[in-house]
Amino acid sequence: MNAQNDTPGQLLEAMRQANPLVQCITNYVAMNIAANVMLAAGASPAMVSAVEEAGEFAGIAGALTVNIGTLSASWIAGMKAAAAAANGAGKPWVLDPVAHYATGFRRQVTAELLGLKPTIIRGNASEIMALAGHSPRGQGVDSGDPTYAAEGPAMALAQQQGCIVAVTGEVDFVTDGRRTVRILGGSPVMPRITALGCSLTCLVGAFAAIRPEAPMEATVAALALFAAAGEDAARTANGPGSFQPLFLDRLASLTGAELDAQMRISTL
Ligand SMILES: Nc1ncnc2c1ncn2[C@@H]1O[C@H](COP(=O)(O)OP(=O)(O)O)[C@@H](O)[C@H]1O
Ligand SMILES: Cc1ncsc1CCOP(=O)(O)O
Ligand SMILES: [Mg+2]
């Protein structure tokens, strides 16, 4: 099968079939919801971050995701060991640079992680703009910029890093520096639930694990699944609280055919 020709729905079915093991080094806020998102969608998450085992585990897992949300000194060595081991084993790895522009500590660690050449970077618009050298209007972990403002910076960052860049928000945008895709869907309630972006980063890892040769298509499939499940869950949710279980249920119940029929993706 040619991964470039697979639809997001076909990739969803293939991901569920493979049930890929994904090493998720994510923050304390995200760990529980991210693991539940992964299990609901059909992947197998493992939150393994200690330096004593992170590199070894990256050799076992199909993909690695690294998120700097609740960064402290003890996390950094594990992140670097895992990223280096993933590179050495030819496994894709995804960077989520949460609030990287907020402090000098985060900026420094993010620069070091970028040096380890992530396969995919996924962030909100403010995070991607700041990574590309633009001034963000976000605060802390929350974006204050629209996706369209981050499209040019995302393309420049993808070219500079030689990787896939995904910007999420009201509209999602994915680029390899040359090709670009926009994904519509989701719900305005999604940024009002903590760590959904972090969870999406882990899910990008699940799709990348089954299509390491096609990380752009893998990223689009993960974002399309979130967009469709989020849109559906929001239809009956009464707010952020009731949205969460409905969203997990829809991540689990959406079929590949339903995803392909519902998704709104435009290739520019
Ligand atoms: N206003 C919005 N309308 C629809 N979907 C949204 C909106 N804001 C965020 N999302 C969705 O929420 C998910 C998390 O993205 P985002 O909030 O940008 O990440 P982060 O939590 O890292 O800031 C993505 O699937 C994104 O498409
Ligand atoms: C609230 C918070 N604080 C540190 S990490 C984190 C979670 C951020 O999650 P997301 O980037 O998905 O909004
Ligand atoms: Mg985030």
Q: Is the CB of 37 under 6 A from ligand 2?
A: no
In the chain, how many domains are there?
Answer: 1
Read off the amino acid at residue 155: M
Residues making up the binding site? 47, 122, 168, 195
pLDDT of 162-209, one tens digit each? 999 999 999 999 999 999 999 999 999 999 999 999 999 999 999 999
pLDDT of 52-98, one tens digit each? 999 999 999 999 999 999 999 999 999 999 999 999 999 999 999 99
* Crossing angle for the helix pair 31-41 and 196-210, to the nearest 10 degrees: 40
When pLDDT is cut at 50, 70 and 90, the band that residue 5 belongs to is confident
- Helix H or strand E segment including 33: helix 31-41
Question: What is the domain range of residue 40?
Answer: 3-267
- Residue 94 pairs in a beta bridge with 65, 120
Distance CA(45)–CA(42), nearest Å, equals 10
Q: Is the CB of 27 under 6 A from ligand 2?
A: yes
> By alpha-carbon position, which residue is closest to atom 4 of ligand 2?
69
Residue 100 above 90 pLDDT?
yes
ipTM metric = 0.99
Q: What is the CATH number of the domain that holds 135?
A: 3.40.1190.20
> By alpha-carbon position, which residue is closest to atom 19 of ligand 1?
197
Whole-number percent of the chain with pLDDT over 70: 98
By most ligand atoms within 8 Å of CB, the mutation choice from 129, 143, 196, 254 for ligand 1 is: 196
Q: Is 77 exposed, middle or buried (0-12, 13-18, 19+ CB in 10 A)?
A: middle
Residue 182 phi/psi, 5° resolution? Answer: -110, 140
Q: Is 2 exposed, middle or buried (0-12, 13-18, 19+ CB in 10 A)?
A: exposed
Structure tokens at 118: 């992530």
